[in-house]
Amino acid sequence: MPELEVHFGTFLEKRKYASFAKPDLDKTDRENLLPFLPWPDVVRVWKTEEKGSDVALASHLLLDGFKGAYDAAAILSNDSDLIEPVRMVKAELGLPIGLLSPVQNPTPQLRAAASFLRHVKPSHLAKAQFPDPVSLQDGRMIGKPVTWV
């Protein structure tokens, strides 16, 4: 697809301490409490963090807007870090920019910054998937993992 450009972020994974969420247990029922006591304050967890995709999206959104590379833009996100670039595209460049929301109630400030809102439902995503499996030009077949929707 000649009009399509892919810009990747990265995922960082690190071990860190996190507060342990205590369950809402009936404190009068000692028998149910016993397996949970003593309750630790913190645990060590693997924390995964996406880095770079919001900055890349914002940069290309603005750069392409300044270059006149699109008549309207849409982002599929609920990331509040994108509020200012979305606002700039609409207010400073005068271009319509839509929010394609994966959640029912998107971030209010992001919604306010966008020109329009469209909700993306699981049925929309199901209809937009490639066939399974996909046939490559060299004849190989690629199937999606069974854990994917």
Q: What is the pLDDT along the chain (149 residues), one digit of tens a residue?
A: 677 777 777 888 999 988 777 666 666 766 666 666 666 677 888 898 888 888 999 999 999 999 999 999 999 999 999 999 999 999 999 999 999 998 999 999 999 999 999 999 988 888 888 889 999 999 999 998 888 76
Neighbouring residues of 42: CB distance < 8 A, sequence distance ≥ 6: 17, 18, 19, 20
pTM over 0.75: no
Helices (H) and strands (E) in the chain, counts: 5, 7
Q: In the chain, which ranges are continuous DSSP H helix?
A: 30-33, 53-66, 83-91, 108-113, 122-127
Task: List domains and CATH numbers for the chain.
Answer: 15-50 (no CATH), 53-142 (3.40.50.1010)
- Under a CB-based contact definition with an 8 Å cutoff, are residues 17 and 58 in contact? no
Is omega for the bond preceding 131 within 30 degrees of 0, making it cis? no
